[in-house]
Amino acid sequence: MPFSLFNIPASFDPKKDILPLDGKIILVTGANSGLGKQAVLEYAQHNPAQIWLAARSLDKAEAAADDIKTLVPNAPIKLLQLDLSSFDSIKKAAKIFSAESDRLDILMLNAGIMAAAPGLTREGYEYQFGINYMGHALLTKLLLPVLDRTAKSGTNSDVRIVSISSAGYAQAPAEGINFGMLKVTADSMGAFGRFGQSKLAIILFARQSF
Ligand SMILES: NC(=O)c1ccc[n+]([C@@H]2O[C@H](COP(=O)([O-])OP(=O)(O)OC[C@H]3O[C@@H](n4cnc5c(N)ncnc54)[C@H](OP(=O)(O)O)[C@@H]3O)[C@@H](O)[C@H]2O)c1
C-alpha cells in the first residue's frame, strides 16, 4: 500500500478513485509542475472535456502540457497564463476563461509558494499571503458566476472548488490571522509563520460557504 508524507496509509488510487469526468471542464492553478501537473495528468485519464493548465509562465505551461501528452496523447489541455501575484493577471485570466468556456466543474486552487523571502505582491500584500490566499480568493470570486451557472445547469453538475492547504498551517500565529501583517513584508513572523498564516487563510476560505 502506498504511504503519504506522514506515513499514513494512502488508499486513494487516482486510476480507479477518480470518477469519470466526461463533459467536465477543469482549471488547475500552478499546473506546470508538482502536484498541479500530476493532477492534470490524472484528470486527463478520465475523459474530461477540457483541462485548463494555468501557470505564470506560458513557456513552462507548454512544456508541462507536452510532457503530459507523451503519456496521454489526446489530453484536452488548454493553456492559461496566470500570475497570482498580480490582480491584473488574475482578472485577465478569468476574463479569457469566462469568454471561452460556458462551464467550470472543478477549480483546483493548487499554486503555492513556501517559506519565501519577505516581499510584497503587486497590490502590496505580504508575498505568501498574497499569492497563496489573496490571488486564489480573487480568482474564485471572478469565476463564481460560471461555477454557479454550472452548478445550476442540472446536467452533470457536481461543481467543486478544491483548496490546497498544508500541515504548515499550524505555524500560523496562535491567535489566528494577524490582520496587521497582511499588507507589510511581515519579516518578524519568519518565513514559516507567513506560510502558515497563508495556509490557515486557505482553510478558513474553504470552510466558508459561498
Ligand atoms: N508537495 C507537498 O508535499 C505539499 C504538502 C502540503 C501542501 N502542499 C501544497 O500543494 C500545492 C502544490 O505544491 P507542490 O509541492 O506541487 O509545489 P511546486 O512543485 O513548488 O509547485 C508550485 C506551483 O505554484 C506555482 N506558482 C508559484 N508562484 C506562483 C504565482 N505567483 N502565480 C502562479 N503560480 C505560481 C509554481 O510555478 P513556477 O514553476 O513558475 O514557480 C508551480 O507551478 C502548494 O499549494 C503547496 O503549498 C504541498
User: What are 142-174's pLDDT values in tens digits?
Assistant: 999 999 999 999 888 899 999 999 999 999 999
- What's the pLDDT score for residue 152? 96
Tens digit of each residue's pLDDT (9 = 90 or more) over 110-126: 999 999 999 999 999 99
- What's the pLDDT score for residue 7? 64
Residue nearest (by alpha carbon) to ligand 1 atom 13? 35
- What's the pLDDT score for residue 5? 59
- What's the pLDDT score for residue 192? 98
**Do the Cβ atoms of 51 and 72 come closer than 8 Å?**
no
Provide the β-strand partners of residue 161. 107
Range 98-117 average pLDDT: 97
Separation of CA 149 and ligand 1 centre (Å): 29
- What's the pLDDT score for residue 36? 98
First to last CA, the chain: 37
Provide the β-strand partners of residue 78. 52
- What's the pLDDT score for residue 203? 97
Residue nearest (by alpha carbon) to ligand 1 atom 45? 112
- 98 compared with 6, residue with greater pLDDT: 98
In the chain, the domains with their CATH numbers are 14-207 (3.40.50.720)
- What's the pLDDT score for residue 3? 55
Q: Which segments of 45-124 does DSSP mark as H helices, in order?
A: 58-71, 87-100
Q: Is the pLDDT of residue 108 over 80?
A: yes
Cα(32)–Cα(37) distance, integer angstroms? 5
Question: 27: part of which helix (H) or strand (E)?
Answer: strand 25-28
Range 18-26 average pLDDT: 96
Question: 55: part of which helix (H) or strand (E)?
Answer: strand 50-55
| Residue among 92, 91, 111 at smallest CA distance from 31 | 111
* Inter-CA distances, 163 with 84, 98, 139, Å: 14, 20, 12
**In testing the pocket of ligand 1, which one of 166, 198, 199 has its CB within 8 Å of the most ligand atoms?**
166
**Nearest atom within ligand 1 for CA of residue 109:** 45
- What's the pLDDT score for residue 4? 57
Residue 163, SS3 per DSSP? strand
HSE value, Cβ hemisphere, 13 Å, CA-based, for 114: 8
Total count of residues recorded for the chain: 210
- What's the pLDDT score for residue 8? 63
